[in-house]
Amino acid sequence: MKSILPNENYLYFGDTKNMPYGEKSEQQLIEFADKIFRFFEQKKVKAVVMACNTTSAVTYEKLKDNYNFKIYPIIQSVAGIIAKLPIKRLGIFATPATINSGMYPQEIHKISPQMLVYGMDCPQWVKIVEGKKENLPESQQIIASDLVAMLLNKPEKIILGCTHYPFLLPVLKKMAPESLFIDPAKHFAEFIKNDLEKLNLINTENIEPFEKFYVSSDPENFKNAGSMFYPIKQQPELINL
C-alpha cells in the first residue's frame, strides 16, 4: 500500500493480545473486529483495510454496514480478480477459520462457477513465521507435507491465503515453482488503489504523510518482530480496547 499510495496517512492496529486469529471462534472474531473498527472510527479514518483473511472470511458480512468508512476485506476484494485467471484448478492454503468459512470458493464461484477450488488449512504455518523457524528441519518437513498433500489436487495456482504465508515463499519455491503461488496482497493493494480513485478518495495534498502503529499488547516485541517485514521507526502505542 505504501509503495503505490505514498501520500496517504496510515494507522495500523495489531491485535497482538488476541493473535493468532485462525483458531478463534466466530463470536470472538466479531468482538475483536468490532472493537478495532470502533477505534478506527474514533480516529476518523476514510477507509479500513482488513488485511487478515480470517476476519475477512468470518466477520466482514456481519459488520460491514455498521461504520462510517469504507471497509476493504481481502478475500472478497481479490476473489473476483483470481476468479478471472485462465485456470481450472485452484488451491488455497489458509487458517482453519478461513477454510471452514468457505468464503474463498463462495466468492470465486460467483464469477467462475466451474473453477475447482481446493482449500487446505495449515495451522502451524503462522507459528513457524512468527517464531522465525522456517529454516528448521522440522518446520520444513511440516511445510513440505502440507504442500505434497495439496499438489495431489493438481492445482494450477495456489493462493497463500494468510498474511503470514508469503513469508514462507523462500521455502516453498525450493519445493515447487514460485509461479505456482499467489500472494493476494499484491492484487489487494491494486484493487484498493483503483477503488479509492473511483471514489475520489485519494489524498492529493502535497503534505508529509505520517504512519502510526497501535497494538493491544507488548509494543516492544511487536516492533522487533514487525521489523522483519517493515521498517517500524517509532514505538507502537499500547491501546486497551
For residue 124 the three cell numbers come to 502451524
Q: Give me the active site residues, please.
A: 52, 162
State how far the Cα of 178 lies from the Cα of 126, in Å rounded to an integer. 20
Q: What is the mean pLDDT of the segment spanning 111-133?
A: 93
Question: What pLDDT does 205 receive?
Answer: 80
- CA 31 remoteness from chain centre: 18
76-184: CATH number: 3.40.50.1860
Question: What pLDDT does 117 receive?
Answer: 98
Residue pointed to by grid coordinates 495451522: 123
The pTM assigned to this predicted structure is: 0.86
> How many Cα atoms are found within 13 Å in the side-chain-facing hemisphere of 192?
24
Work out the angle at residue 78's Cα, subtended by the Cα atoms of residues 62 and 182, and round it to the nearest 5 degrees.
Answer: 130
Question: What pLDDT does 97 receive?
Answer: 87
Residue ranges of the chain that CATH labels 3.40.50.1860: 10-74+187-238, 76-184
State how far the Cα of 117 lies from the Cα of 114, in Å rounded to an integer. 9
- Phi, psi angles (nearest 5°) of residue 230: -155, 140
**Between these two residues, 118 and 126, which has the higher pLDDT value?**
118
CA distances (Å), origin 177, targets 147, 172, 174: 12, 8, 8
Q: Percent of the chain beyond pLDDT 90?
A: 82
- Phi, psi angles (nearest 5°) of residue 68: -100, 30
CB atoms inside a 10 Å sphere around CB 88 = 12
Tens digits of residue pLDDT in 85-106: 999 999 999 999 899 999 999 9
Tens digits of residue pLDDT in 2-53: 999 999 999 999 999 998 888 899 999 999 999 999 999 999 999 999 999 8
Domain 10-74+187-238 = CATH 3.40.50.1860: yes
What band does 111 get if pLDDT is binned at 50, 70 and 90?
Answer: very high
Tens digits of residue pLDDT in 56-67: 999 999 999 999
